[in-house]
Amino acid sequence: MIKWILILLIVAAAASLLGMPALAGAAATGARILIGIVLIIFLLVVLGLFAVT
């Protein structure tokens, strides 16, 4: 999932530099959502409520 976040951030940066604000915004929003999901899963693992095997 971290790989997808990095890919979306790179796409957002490239689209922003090339003058495509709609694509940059969509990629940044996707990355922001994935970052939120990763943080929630990380907190659940740290608190011991969710086991990763």
Domain count of the fold of the chain: 1
Spatial separation of the C-alpha atoms in residues 53 and 43, rounded to whole Å = 16
Return the pLDDT at 53. Answer: 64
24 part of a folded domain:
yes
Q: Is residue 22 part of a domain?
A: yes
What is the pTM (predicted TM-score) of this model? Answer: 0.79
Q: What CA–CA distance (Å, rounded) separates 27 from 10?
A: 9
> Which residues form the domain of 14?
2-47
**53 falls within a domain:** no
CA distance 28 to 21: 10
Q: Is 36 domain-assigned?
A: yes
Q: Is residue 52 part of a domain?
A: no
Report yes or no on 12 lying in a domain: yes
User: Within a domain: residue 38?
Assistant: yes
- pLDDT, block means (10 residues), the chain with 53 residues: 93 96 96 96 85 67
Which amino acid is located at 42 in the chain? F
Distance separating alpha carbons of residues 27 and 13, to the nearest angstrom:
9
